[in-house]
Amino acid sequence: MNLLIKNADLYAPAHRGRNDILVCSGIVAAIAENLDTSALPFPCEILDAGGMRVVPGFIDGHVHITGGGGEGGFGTRTPELSISDTIRSGVTTVVGVLGTDGVTRSVENLVAKTYAIREAGLSAWCLTGSYRLPLVTVTGDVCKDIMMVEPIIGIGEVAVSDHRSSKPSVEELARIAAEARVAGMLSGKAGIVNVHMGDAPAGFAPLEAVVAAGDLPRTQFLPTHCSRNRQVFEQALRWAGAGGWVDFTASGTASGSRRSDGELSAARAIIALLEKGLSLARATLSSDGQGSLPVFDESGRLRGLTVGSCASLGQALREMVRDFGLPLEEALVPLTLSPARAFQFSRKGRLEVNSDADAVVLDAELRPSSVIARGRILVRFGKLEYRDAFVGGDSSE
């Protein structure tokens, strides 16, 4: 399918001004002012952005696509990811993870859901394992999972410094990181280890101990929930300052819930990182979509649970730009370029010739108006064009 996006105020994510974007077979073929389709030897669908901002599709690197939660009993297991809601949020690439529950949630189901997301037109990959060690896998071997199961690109989320973890030793963490690294090298994948950072005082200490040995780089790990409290956040800044990845969770404070006292919103965390003189090149945002989030009253008492959402990425983007005055081209980096680099998605995270044609047209309020994934229009000026497989609506699975 061929598509021409006309009159785009292009953020690639660097601001390039008014441009047209030609898409052929899901790939950006040309970017220029006033592209003339009359000279093209093939028909071309036209989407006129009307001067609205067109940005790369958002990459959500931490989503419980088969559902998460369950810490409050079987009745608190959250539902699977709604593909329609994901599309509406402007997310065009998803990385699926398990979480606390590696018993009733399986990696096999995770892989199947990954394929379902792909069939809907989005890009999707997943990680093997869960919070606990030994890791749950498809093949019985971490290296085989990464090398031989195409959608699996790494390990995670493995919990450290958390009461729900299996208390992995430094040696165990180093071993799985080394296995993921070798498997990634052999298969051309990221081989990254996504690490759930808990509230315990040890914080980043287990990861610091692993990299202190000198044979594994900090970039082997992608620590997440790095703004969950002030102590973890300060450790995360030191980790990033030394060259490591840090991931801030967008679902949480923005939706009225919180994980712990002192949690920073993802937007505030990004601003604080910049205020410390650190680069956005190692910072990513993810939603923790379909994860369970506690909601507290003013006295700090638990009122109930809500569910993380991919839409929180857009909320964080708007908060960075509107509330903190961050230029849009900078605010886009942790949603686009940085996660593409962390997961080694070589054709994602930007809009340029030969990149995947994943794009979001933002309205004046910086909300997704149209969404294009791999060159296919899935939302056209607010109207969802994707249809779920089952009758009964277009917003749930």
Instruction: Please list the active-site residues.
Output: 288
Q: Are 65 and 79 in contact (CB under 8 A)?
A: no
What is the spatial distance between Cα 286 and Cα 62, in angstroms, rounded to a whole number? 5
Residue listed under structure tokens 């394929």: 115
Q: Where are the alpha helices (DSSP H) in the chain?
A: 83-88, 107-119, 142-148, 170-187, 205-212, 230-241, 266-275, 312-318, 328-331, 337-342
Which tokens in the block code for residue 237? 């800044």
Using only C-alpha atoms, the chain has a radius of gyration, in whole angstroms, of 20
CB half-sphere exposure, 341, CA atoms < 13 A: 18
Q: What is the DSSP string of 244-290?
A: --EEEE-TTGGGT--SSTTPPPHHHHHHHHHHTT--GGGEEEE--BT
What is the spatial distance between Cα 348 and Cα 343, in angstroms, rounded to a whole number? 10
β-pairing, 91-96 vs 123-128, is parallel
Q: Find out whether the peptide bond into 56 is cis, omega within 30 degrees of 0.
A: no
What is the spatial distance between Cα 91 and Cα 364, in angstroms, rounded to a whole number? 18
Residue listed under structure tokens 């009359």: 38
Q: Are 152 and 146 in contact (CB under 8 A)?
A: yes
Q: What is the DSSP string of 322-381?
A: IIT---HHHHTGGGTHHHHHHTT-TT-SS-STTSB--EEEE-TTS-EEEEEETTEEEEET
Q: Which of 195, 200, 218, 198 is closest to 208 using CA atoms?
A: 218
Q: Cβ atoms within 10 A of the Cβ of 138, count?
A: 16
